[in-house]
Every structure is written in structure tokens, then in C-alpha cells.
Amino acid sequence: MDHNSFVNSLTFKNVNESDVERAFQLELEGFPPEEAFTIERYRYIQSVAPDLFLGAYSSDSSSTSFSKLLLIGTIMSTLADAPKFTKESMSSHNPFGKTVCIHTVCVDKQYRGRGIALCMLKEYIKRLKNETQNKDADGKYERVALICHEYLIPLYQKAGFTSMGESEIIYGRLFICFFIFIVAMLNCNSYL
């Protein structure tokens, strides 16, 4: 199957409790131990913000049994009330917050380089926009923010994010990188 057909065959749905361990495996595979979240953190975020925990599932027969979908990519976030992406906003979840703080974008090593992260990000943003445009939601989300290593800025730009410059904060997982950038979208005006 070519990359496009494979990506188009993916199923996107929120990660439920039973898939948290698998999501955590991807985290351990994607980040060195000193940068990775703990399983407790994963369980906590899934329990408080399940709608913001998106999974990409493959039914690729070479990697899983006939009927079972395999989780091969995740995006995990919490909400913050401050427009700024701070260390505090990274460590707590405010259910009334309007800033979606993306903590993790992760793809199974075996499936990287096929456009899955980009497709997941677009799907994620589409879902957030749909919820925000829903009349009953009262402008649910105002912005989406994340910090990333400089070399990954093109990934997020391709998904529609804008680079807002170097981050003031040094967050655990990015502690060792030279530059930390904030990217944000939807409404960047009040961001910096």
C-alpha cells in the first residue's frame, strides 16, 4: 500500500482507558526516559481530557489481527485558561480553559515518514474547529499551542501553525534542546 492510501485508511478516534498503556508505549519509544511522561500522567490526562486525546488506528493486517485496530499515533493535550503557554499550563488541566496545550505528538517508529503526524494534526485541528464553531459550544477553544524542537517547526507549519518565536519557558521534555519554539494557531493575537 502506498503512503497516501495507508494514511487514508487510518481510523481516528479518541484514546480510551484500555489503550492508554499502548499510547504510553509509543511515548517511551518516541522520547528518551528522562523526557518521557509517566504512565500515571498518561492515565490522568486520559481521565480528565479524553476528548483531547486523539489516536490514529491502523488495521494494517501485517501489524495486527484481522479485526483489531492498532494504535500507531497519538496527540494528547490539556486545557489552560491563560492565553500564554506556561509551565503551569503544562502541568494542570482547566476544563474551562480555551487554550489547547498539545503535550505529545507521537507516531510508532515503524510508521514514521508516511505523513501520519501531519494527517493526525490536521484531523485534530479540524475536530477542535468543529467543536468551536458549534453554536452550543460558546467558542470552546481559542487557540492551540505547543512547544517543539526547532527542527520540527516545518511539521507544525504544514499543519497550519505559525511559529511565534523562541519560548521563554524551559519545559522538562525540551530541556536539552537549543531552541524552544512556541507555535500557535486559531487566534494568535493575544499569544505573546
Ligand X SMILES: CC(C)(COP(=O)(O)OP(=O)(O)OC[C@H]1O[C@@H](n2cnc3c(N)ncnc32)[C@H](O)[C@@H]1OP(=O)(O)O)[C@@H](O)C(=O)NCCC(=O)NCCS
Residues that bind ligand X (CB under 6 A): 30-31, 104-107, 112-118, 148, 151-152, 154-155, 158
Residue whose CB is less far from ligand X, 57 or 140: 57
Long-range residue pairs from 151-158, CB within 8 A, at least 24 positions apart, any chain: 153/181, 153/183, 155/117, 155/118, 155/121, 156/121, 156/183, 157/183, 158/118
Residue whose CB is less far from ligand X, 21 or 133: 21
Shortest Å, Cβ 135 to ligand X: 33
Alpha helix segments (H runs only) across the chain: 3-8, 20-30, 39-48, 87-91, 116-133, 153-158
- Grid coordinates belonging to 12: 481516528
Residue whose CB is less far from ligand X, 80 or 140: 80
Residue whose CB is less far from ligand X, 89 or 140: 89
Residue whose CB is less far from ligand X, 84 or 112: 112
Shortest Å, Cβ 66 to ligand X: 25
Shortest Å, Cβ 6 to ligand X: 11
Shortest Å, Cβ 24 to ligand X: 13
Query: What's the CA angle centered on 137, arms 134 and 138, to 5 degrees?
Result: 110
CB 103 within 8 A of CB 37: yes
Q: How many residues does the chain have?
A: 192
Shortest Å, Cβ 134 to ligand X: 28
